[in-house]
Structure 1
Amino acid sequence: MGWTSPVNVILNDEDQSPLPAPVTTAQGSWIGSLLTFGLIFGPFIGGFAQATIGRRWGLLAAAILFFIGSLFITFATSVAFIYAGRVFWGTASGMVFVILPMYCAEIATVEARGAIGSFLQTFITFGFLLVYTSGPFIGYSGIAYVSLGFAVIFFVGMFLMPETPTYYFIQNDPKSAAKSLAKIRGKPIESLQKELDLISAAVDDSKDRKGTIADIFRRKNFKAFFIGSALVFFQQFTGITIVVFYMTDIFRVAGSNLEPAYATIIVGAVQFLAALMTPFVADRLGRRIIVMVSSGGCAIGLGLLGLYFFLADIDSPIIESINFLPLVSLMLFLVMFRWGMGALPWAIIGEMTPIEVKDSVAPLATAFCWTCSFLITRYYSVVAASAGHFVVFWIFAVCSFGSFCFGLFYLPETKDKTFNEIQDMLSGSDLTKREAERTERAQRA
């Protein structure tokens, strides 16, 4: 079976390409991988930015990089401009993946923390849907113009947002912290004193234990880092990058009468609706159960997809009667992934990581995530060519089952727990007193 690159398909179309001549296959490969390259280094820049200039200005800096990348691609006169634009896009995305979950975790209430944190994945799928619905009709250059507009909207919107109270307390500015929390909550400062005291106490405690890279390997810090890294490992080794990258080919194998462009629009809409579910259930069902259900569903979808390719490779006579299987399994996989594993790892990292090591843990976990993505993208075709596509999808299915087991036996539940309760849980402290306090608060509410 011949697999094609969507990047090459678009850029080799002279009516849509921003370049005066189509790119070569090798150039298209570089264009496809340079985004991931930027994603590997962007988290470290984001970690440095959020610690030195703040969460808000770190996100504003990312918006500027998005804008510069879009300028390079919009007005590209050679493939080098496309390369540069993709690196800027990847770097900015890496910064956002580090700073935004932290920003959300620091401004959200305990009750809404999971929902707000999971909106990151919702808007990622909205971006996919936007590209799927407009890309076939406005081309690569048109998409670049759209990204220019969204970079401006991102910058203006973030400029109007406040800095987090946690960052102000870290900077020894309690007055600004109080004003920030009052703006976020829409309440008078006097009514927020208890929450301000809790944030201040958590920051003071973290200052007493100012973290370094070595402190990541302390018990609860390492546990938070390990859980976050494991979740993003399982997230990438479900094969989401490969499934999305070769989506049109899978539809073609399914024998669908739909044009690939319209098929991807349908899939994009389904992904968006699935991701939209997460904010509404994350704080009701809990993180752990969602991770387990999502991972189990991904394992089933990928297993069925691998089964189809296995039967196709051995020329099974039943293959003609089950040509719907790739479509069904693909839809099952994408719905289950976007509903859980696509959204929750970033929210969990944001709410579990101790303040004193956030500057180190978040960039390392995010860089590890995109390194996994780069390796999968780089070596997928090699493994598929030597062992068969069904082997690759079954490997992804096994990894998804591993994610299910990880959620079942190791992942702690953070639903409705305060930051201090989560830290006690990670360190193995007695939670009886805090659980009683939390129950009392819930009864009073």
Structure 2
Amino acid sequence: MSVEIAVTMDPKLTPKLRERRKSPVIKHDTLFLYSSVVTAELLFVPMGASMVWTSPVIGKLVSNDTEINPIGRQISILEVSMLTGIPELTNIIGLLFVTKLADVIGRKRYLLLAGAVMLISGIGLAFSNKIAYMILARCAFGFPGVPSVIPVYIAEICEDLNRGKFGCYSGIFHQIGNLFGFVIGPILSVKYYTLVITAPALIFIILFLTMPESPVYLLKHGNEEECKVSLKRLRSNKTDQEIDMDLEKLKKQLENEPKGKVTDLFKKREHIIGLLLGFLPVLIKYCSGVTVLFMYLAPFFDSAETSLSGDLVAIIVAVFKISLFTVASFVVENFGRRKLILISSCGTALPLCALGVFFYLKHIESPALQQLQWLPLTGLLITVSFFGLGLGPIPNYLVIDFFPADLRTVSSSIVNASGSVAAFALASLFPIVTGQFGTEWCVWWFSVNCVAGAILIYLFLPETKGKSLDEIQKMLER
């Protein structure tokens, strides 16, 4: 009698215990898998620091003190808008066109190339003494489209049971980059600050040379033996028989797959639905305004005119954000992607609304402000706490769950490009709109976006936790 039959027929076991006995033993992730994921995610550190580069630097660029201002003059509000927004716009080009290289030369070679571009452009930014040069260098820094390729690489070296957990690591390392930039930005000159935040790109290049190529990419290009070697390194806790089973599973997934063209995204109903569902959380993430607020965090908080320094608040907020992104990586496989994004959207809306009230009271010079000096910091901490639970770490990798290997890069690129369009518009308009209409209206609009996003998530976004590609595709066909 087989074990499964024996377990099923044992009258002493409850249904739950029978299922538990029948389920395969879940093995712990290997140290090499952790090393591969962490090394790949290391590239998000300079990216995260670059994203908030403007927060400590804008205060120096609007100064007339030539000792701290490398431009030698005070820059205008329009130049602030261009310095922050244009790099987001050019990042779209990288996401839509350059990332296709990852399907041609491989995920690993692409990321190494991206790291080299970051290193060179970071050095160029450090020695720039004109606003135009700074804009060009920042554009090159974000051009490689790394936010699309790293999630693909991570998804393809992981399994269904740990894909969500490791996918959240992108957000954690991005936030570590934010904190890195916030901490050293106020104490270093623009030149040395930029060089220091670029250094992790060099460390990444050195370490990533020893990491494996994606098994899915290798198998897709006919390198079955190399694929098997890569699987053995990543899953050294498995027997040869289990590795062979994993290899067969990959082969089955790659059978009859489309060729990875943009037009293939629109040939099947499930791909169209998957693309639309991929757009939804990414657009809500950026339209929540938290990402934009981080670009202007120090000046944003300084405008609240409390007793705390904007640079100090930026560090405190970044620490909170890292903590919550880390929590999300541990609970995402238990709670699920959909539930966390839903909780995150609702929770982010409330403190943003409260922040809007504070800035409105400040605008009308209300005497109540004396009793509400605690609100800006508290509101920001609660905002980033809820944002870090779902909206921050999950949306950018969620689209990977909806597509087969050949369409992951192109779908991720298109979805993240839509996010870059939103980030460009918001980052460019934020200093202009706040100057014309007041900070409160921007923050209230962000709050309304979160509420609308929560409603859309509740109505349309399915759960992909622990599901295989076949199960997700069948779910999208309905």
TM-score exceeds 0.5: yes
For residues 144 and 189 of structure 1, the distance between their equivalents in structure 2, rounded to whole angstroms, comes to 47
Select the residue among 369, 380, 387 that pairs with 2:430: 380
List per-residue Cα deviations over 1:413-435 (Å, max 9, x = no partner): 1111112111111122xxxxxxx
For residues 436 and 123 of structure 2, the distance between their equivalents in structure 1, rounded to whole angstroms, comes to 40
Aligned to 1:32: 84
Q: Using a 3 Å threshold, how does the CA distance of structure 1 residues 163 and 34 change in structure 2: closer, same or farther?
A: same
What is the correspondence of 1:199-348 to structure 2 with a 5 Å cutoff?
Answer: 199-206=250-257, 209-217=258-266, 218-252=268-302, 254-348=304-398
List per-residue Cα deviations over 1:288-343 (Å, max 9, x = no partner): 11001111111111111112223333444423222322221111111111221011
Residue 259 of structure 1 deviates from its aligned partner by: 2.7
Q: Aligned to 1:338, what secondary structure does the other structure show?
A: helix
Give 1:100's aligned amino acid: I
Aligned to 1:364: 414
Aligned to 1:417: 467
User: Is 2:169 aligned against 1:119?
Assistant: yes
Give 2:262's aligned amino acid: I
Aligned to 1:184: 234
Q: Using a 3 Å threshold, how does the CA distance of structure 1 residues 22 and 181 change in structure 2: closer, same or farther?
A: farther
User: Is 2:248 aligned against 1:197?
Assistant: yes
Give 2:472's aligned amino acid: I
Give 1:203's aligned amino acid: L
RMSD over aligned Cα, in angstroms?
2.1
Residue 233 of structure 1 deviates from its aligned partner by: 0.6
In structure 1, stretches of 5+ residues that fail to align are: 429-445
For residues 82 and 382 of structure 1, the distance between their equivalents in structure 2, rounded to whole angstroms, comes to 20
Point out the more displaced range, 239-248 or 266-275: 239-248
Q: Using a 3 Å threshold, how does the CA distance of structure 1 residues 264 and 352 change in structure 2: closer, same or farther?
A: same
For residues 154 and 56 of structure 1, the distance between their equivalents in structure 2, rounded to whole angstroms, comes to 12
For residues 430 and 315 of structure 2, the distance between their equivalents in structure 1, rounded to whole angstroms, comes to 25
TM-score computed with the length of structure 2 as normaliser: 0.82
For residues 123 and 442 of structure 2, the distance between their equivalents in structure 1, rounded to whole angstroms, comes to 37
In structure 2, stretches of 5+ residues that fail to align are: 1-53
Select the residue among 112, 126, 131 that pairs with 1:74: 126
For residues 83 and 303 of structure 2, the distance between their equivalents in structure 1, rounded to whole angstroms, comes to 26
Residue 221 of structure 1 deviates from its aligned partner by: 0.4
User: Is 2:95 aligned against 1:43?
Assistant: yes
Aligned length: 420
Select the residue among 200, 221, 226 that pairs with 1:150: 200
Give 1:246's aligned amino acid: Y
Q: Using a 3 Å threshold, how does the CA distance of structure 1 residues 393 and 258 change in structure 2: closer, same or farther?
A: closer
Give 2:361's aligned amino acid: L
Aligned to 1:433: none
Give 2:397's aligned amino acid: A
Give 1:195's aligned amino acid: D
More helix by share: 1
Give 2:309's aligned amino acid: E
For residues 276 and 286 of structure 2, the distance between their equivalents in structure 1, rounded to whole angstroms, comes to 15
Aligned to 2:403: 353
Q: Using a 3 Å threshold, how does the CA distance of structure 1 residues 5 and 176 change in structure 2: closer, same or farther?
A: closer
Residue 247 of structure 1 deviates from its aligned partner by: 2.4
Q: Aligned to 1:412, what secondary structure does the other structure show?
A: coil
Point out the more displaced range, 369-378 or 318-327: 318-327
For residues 235 and 47 of structure 1, the distance between their equivalents in structure 2, rounded to whole angstroms, comes to 22
Residue 246 of structure 1 deviates from its aligned partner by: 3.3
Give 2:357's aligned amino acid: L
